[in-house]
Amino acid sequence: MYNVELSERAQEFLNKLDGHLKERIENSLRRLKENPIPSGVKFIGRDKGEKIFRYRIGDYRALYKIKDKERIVLVAKIDKRPKVYD
């Protein structure tokens, strides 16, 4: 099992959302504990040897890295589709 951690930027974005949407995104991110690369996730590149993935959650996208040695899924950024890649 992996631990799911949010960057400050991702946590701040979640805190601004209304209750229902925030809960939906948090539930989706919790599923990454059991399976850090579920179907529908797209590999988008590497950063310092760590794989970077995009997870689609409705109109939102979460970009995250998997640190296999520490068994951590680090969610770096969450935002709407056009903004998440900036």
Predicted TM-score (pTM) of this structure: 0.89
pLDDT tens-digit profile of 35-86? 999 988 999 998 887 889 999 999 999 999 998 889 999 999 999 988 877 7
What are residue 53's DSSP bridge partners?
43, 64
pLDDT tens-digit profile of 12-43? 999 999 999 999 999 999 999 999 999 889 99
Predicted pLDDT at 68 = 85
Predicted pLDDT at 51 = 87
Which structural domains are found in the chain, ordered by start? 3-84 (3.30.2310.20)
C-alpha to C-alpha distance for 33 and 49, rounded to whole angstroms: 21
CB atoms inside a 10 Å sphere around CB 32: 21
What are residue 55's DSSP bridge partners?
62
Q: Which amino acid would we find at residue 79?
A: D
Predicted pLDDT at 20 = 94
